[in-house]
Amino acid sequence: MLYAVFMSSALPPFPKPQEPLDVPRLLEVGTAGSASDEPCLRADAARNRARLLEAAARLIAEHGVAGVTMEAVAAAAEVGKGTVFRRFGDRTGLLMALLDHSARQLQGDFLSGPPPLGPGAPPLVRLRAFGVAVLYRSAEQLDLQLAAQPEPTRRFSHPAIGSLRTHVTMLLRQIVPGADCDLLAQTLLASLDPALIHHLTRQCGMPMERLEAGWLDLVARVTGTEPPR
């Protein structure tokens, strides 16, 4: 296995209310009202947001994604239902905020983490590692990712998808500078789509090792390079 982020099915811990929430920005991801605007929030609003996300994460751990409704989160966080709607807009916005926290962790890995995923490794090695990391992250959070996917007309323009596409395009321009790297990046990312991973693993019964090998083979064919031995 080249590189795998075996993330726990539980989401990473959220900042405690007393901790500063204005963390350094990576790429902008998430929906309006996501963590990217937290420095502008009043302290009580920031505490409420952390409480709501912690409550939603608990519900997922206990009941799965189906157990996450706006009403259930409000009850678990002991706030009014209107507070949840004002903060996240709707259920999809709430689920996207949960994914945003995980996406920032992944971004930190490929923007400034150690190689092979982060800087310091050759671009081809980083591209291989990137796909495997996204693959395992998606598999671990598959139900959440499927529930939080934007509608088809907005899916590919979503900032979270855009940040991944930007990174893959950058790596491809270093590996195959004469190619249509923007379009190739779309093609590569399509193979990492959560709906496809769901189909292959849960409906077709394919093991993750086969999907990992398939990603490495696809990268080799797209870039005209030899797959790792």
What's the pLDDT at 156?
81
What's the pLDDT at 93?
84
What's the pLDDT at 160?
75
What's the pLDDT at 47?
78
What's the pLDDT at 39?
52
Alpha-carbon distances, residue 188 vs 25, 127, 130, 215 (angstroms): 26, 10, 11, 8
What's the pLDDT at 92?
83
Other C-beta atoms within 10 Å of 117: how many?
A: 23
| Alpha carbons 204 and 225: distance in angstroms, whole number | 29
Phi first, then psi: what are they for 214, rounded to 5°?
-65, -40
Chunk the chain into consecutive blocks of 10 residues (it has 229) and report each block's average pLDDT, rounded to whole numbers. 43 43 38 46 74 85 84 89 89 83 82 93 97 92 82 78 93 97 96 95 97 97 93
pLDDT digits (tens, 9 = 90+) for 106-148: 888 898 899 999 999 999 999 999 999 999 989 988 888 888 7
